[in-house]
Amino acid sequence: MNRPTRRPGGRSADVRRRVLDAVVAQLVDHGYDALSIDTVAAGCGVHRTTVYRRWRDVGGLLADVLAEAAADDWRPPDTGTLDGDLAALNREVFAALTGDPPITTALIAASFRSTRAAEALRAFWADRYDRCAVIVARAAGRSEIPAGTDARRLLVAATAPLYHELVLLRAGPDAGLADRTAADTAVAARAGAFAATVVSPDEHHGDDRR
């Protein structure tokens, strides 16, 4: 993600730590609107030009923060039922999207200004959805849903309404939203929705970007 540091020793690493910490601190304390290269640099004693050179813009900073956040050991919830798993997952998404300070929303906003932030966020979500595929596999293993159910399609159906309502439609946070959407999706899956169209036994996620 970040430019390969040819000299990763003490100083450069220290600068990176201080800058990224300052980004999060700034985000938490003063919100996204107050986030700029200058405020971050001033907030951690690193010079403006250094930050500009290494991260280029605010999107670059958030992309780096996101790249760090993506390398965690998060695993999807395992409650024993599809309904339970989706509901628990959706509650996490809901919490992230309505949390204060709105870090997730800030990252989404940044992704519209910086292609680097956009790519980092895309990669982050791709990884998360891949990890969540086991939820669908487990449900199929328990014969809750038909075999051959398209995991990604089901997971997007379960989570997309949350993003849509909270981020794009900007509806007020409705406490039941996460659970309702999860339940609707589970009903759909049991009724045979999200059936993978037969292409070939070994599915490859061919992702052509325009």
User: Choosing among DNA, a copy of itself, none, which partner's interface includes residue 58 (Cβ < 5 to 8 Å by kind)?
Assistant: DNA
For residue 198, state whether it binds a copy of itself (rule: CB under 8 A): no
Binding residue (CB under 8 A) for a copy of itself from 38, 187, 198, 200: 187
Answer whether 182's CB lies under 8 Å from 162's CB: no
Residue with tokens 């891949």: 130
Q: Is 60 in the site for a copy of itself (CB under 8 A)?
A: no
94 is a contact residue toward a copy of itself (CB under 8 A): yes
Provide the CB-side half-sphere exposure for 71 (13 A, CA): 6
| Binding segment (CB under 7 A) for DNA, from list 42-50, 65-73, 139-147, 154-162 | 42-50
Q: Please, which residues bridge with residue 149 across strands? A: 195
Of 136, 113, 117, nearest to 125 (Cα)?
A: 117
Q: Contact, 89 vs 77, CB < 8 A?
A: yes
- Footprint of DNA on 49-108 (CB under 7 A): 49-50, 52-54, 56-58
Q: Name which position in 9, 172, 201, 206 contacts DNA (CB under 7 A).
A: 9
- Interface residue with a copy of itself among 3, 113, 131, 142 (CB under 8 A) is 113
Binding site partner of 198, from a copy of itself, DNA, none, Cβ cut-off 5-8 A by kind: none
Query: Chain centroid to CA 200: how far?
Result: 29
Task: Select from a copy of itself, DNA, none the partner in contact with residue 126, using the beta carbon and a kind-dependent cut-off of 5 to 8 Å.
Answer: a copy of itself
**DSSP letters along 140-191, please?**
HHTTSS-TTB-HHHHHHHHHHHHHIIIIIS-----TTHHHHHHHHHHHHHHT
Binding site residues, DNA, CB under 7 A: 5-12, 14-16, 36-39, 45-50, 52-54, 56-58
